[in-house]
């Protein structure tokens, strides 16, 4: 999937900030050590192993992107957090994009009141959308979009009010699965940014969503 999506991003002529999750790298290790999106006690070795898994995944993602003539600029979300306010982060990222770089960040583990917690890629997208105000955010999934409950029927369009009425399972990961993605989408669209849920395995549909064209999947808008 990373190869196909990298190729589509490279050929799209779009300025893109990439945020990737933990997949089979970070989520598995985090769950083994009881690390989740809720702050709590965690063994030092577990924190180190989870972060190590995420940094290794990020290295592989960036390596693949470079094979398709992209110029990734990897950074931990904590690099952004350490900067003075949203305006500074926005200016920094827009400067990187202007220079032809593709900023790449990822879900990570950080120290919080009460212990350690996972900062989900979905939450990072939400925060970046708030400060950068992009036209759209594209979530590349392992499914075609958001389905009607207990079916494989795609919901083509959602609003925050419809999302609120939906019953969605958390999913089998450390940060909330589809439920967190939909919650994040509802907050993102409140700021005027359209959210697209599309399969990362349908590269043509991903490309359409990336360019703002009609695609097979789910759109969330206010």
DSSP code per residue over 68-131: TT--EEE--HHHHHTSSHHHHHHHHHHHHHHTT-EEEEE-EEEEETTEEEEE-HHHHHHHHHHH
**Total domain count for the chain?**
1
Give tens-digit pLDDT for 131-149.
Answer: 999 999 999 999 999 999 8
Average pLDDT on 147-171 reads: 86
CB 156 within 8 A of CB 166: no
- The fraction of the chain above a pLDDT of 70, given in percent, is 93
Q: Domain residues for 123?
A: 2-220
Task: State the pLDDT confidence band at 129, using cuts at 50, 70 and 90.
Answer: very high
Q: What is this structure's pTM?
A: 0.89
Question: What CATH number does the domain containing 149 carry?
Answer: 3.40.1160.10
């Amino acid at each position: 999937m990373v190869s196909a999506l990298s190729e589509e991003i490279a050929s799209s002529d779009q300025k893109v900030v990439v945020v990737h999750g933990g997949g089979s790298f970070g989520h598995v290790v985090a769950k083994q050590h009881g690390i989740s999106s809720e702050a709590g006690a965690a063994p030092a070795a577990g924190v180190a192993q989870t972060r190590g898994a995420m940094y290794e995944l990020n290295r592989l993602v960036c390596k693949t992107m470079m094979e398709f003539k992209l110029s990734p600029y990897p950074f931990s979300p904590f690099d952004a957090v350490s900067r003075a306010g949203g305006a500074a982060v926005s200016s920094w990222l827009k400067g990187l994009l202007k220079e032809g770089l593709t900023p790449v960040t990822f879900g990570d583990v950080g120290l919080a009141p009460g212990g350690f917690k996972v900062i989900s890629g979905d939450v990072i997208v939400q925060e970046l959308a708030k400060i950068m105000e992009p036209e759209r955010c594209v979530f590349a999934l392992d499914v075609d979009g958001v389905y009607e409950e207990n079916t494989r029927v795609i919901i083509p369009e959602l609003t925050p009010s419809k999302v609120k009425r939906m019953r969605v399972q958390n999913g089998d990961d450390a940060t909330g699965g589809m439920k967190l993605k939909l919650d994040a989408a509802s907050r993102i669209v409140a700021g005027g940014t359209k959210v697209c849920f599309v399969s990362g395995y349908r590269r043509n549909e991903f490309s359409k969503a990336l360019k703002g064209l009609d695609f097979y999947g789910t759109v969330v808008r206010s």
